[in-house]
Amino acid sequence: MTSSNAGKANIGVVGLAVMGSNLARNLASREGNTVAVYNRSVERTQLLTSEHPEAGFIASETIDDFVASLAKPRTAIIMVQAGKGTDAVIAQLAERFEPGDIIVDGGNALFTDTIRREAEVRAKGINFVGAGISGGEEGALKGPSIMPGGSEEAYKTLGPILSSIAAVAEGEPCVTHVGTDGAGHFVKMIHNGIEYADMQLIAEAYDILRQAGAYSPAEIAAIFGEWNKGTLESFLIEITAEVLKQVDAKTGKPLVDVILDQAGSKGTGVWTVQTALNLGTPVSGIAEAVFARSLSSQASQRAAVDGLPADATAWTIEDKVAFVEDVRRALYASKLVAYAQGFDAIRAGAKEYGWNINLGAVSKIWRGGCIIRAQFLNRITEAYEADPGLVLLLSAPYFADAIAQAQEAWRRVVIAATQAGIPAPAFGSSLSYYDALRAERLPAALVQGQRDFFGAHTYKRVDKPGIFHTLWSGDRSEIETEPSSH
Contacts with ligand 6PG, residue ranges (CB under 6 A): 108, 134-136, 192, 195, 264-266, 268-269, 370-371
The alpha carbon dihedral of 88, 92, 97, 99 has a sign of: positive
How far apart, in whole angstroms, are the C-alpha atoms of residue 147 and residue 469?
Answer: 48
Query: Which residue from 118, 177, 179, 130 is spatially nearest to 351, judged by alpha carbons?
Result: 179
Contact 247, 280 (CB under 8 A): no
How far apart, in whole angstroms, are the C-alpha atoms of residue 14 and residue 388?
Answer: 38
Contact 286, 273 (CB under 8 A): yes
Q: Is 355 helix (H, G, I), strand (E, B) or coil?
A: coil
Contact 192, 269 (CB under 8 A): yes
Tell me which H or E stretch contains 127: strand 127-134
CA–centroid distance for 145 within its chain: 12
Query: Which residue from 168, 129, 163 is spatially nearest to 31, judged by alpha carbons?
Result: 163
Which residues lie below 8 Å from residue 437, measured CB to CB, with a gap of 6+? Answer: 392, 394
Query: Which residue from 5, 16, 162 is spatially nearest to 89, judged by alpha carbons?
Result: 16
Which residues lie below 8 Å from residue 84, measured CB to CB, with a gap of 6+? Answer: none
- The DSSP line for 254-291 is BHHHHS-S-----SHHHHHHHHHHHHT---HHHHHHHH
| Buried-exposed string 124-150: b where 16+ CB fall within 10 A, e elsewhere | eebbbbbbbbbbbeebbbebbbbbbbb
How far apart, in whole angstroms, are the C-alpha atoms of residue 96 and residue 211?
Answer: 60
Residues annotated as catalytic are 188, 195
Nearest 5 degrees, angle CA 19-CA 238-CA 173? Answer: 50
Query: Which residue from 212, 213, 345 is spatially nearest to 269, judged by alpha carbons?
Result: 345
Whole-angstrom CA distances from 141 to 18, 48, 54, 144, 369 are 9, 13, 15, 8, 10
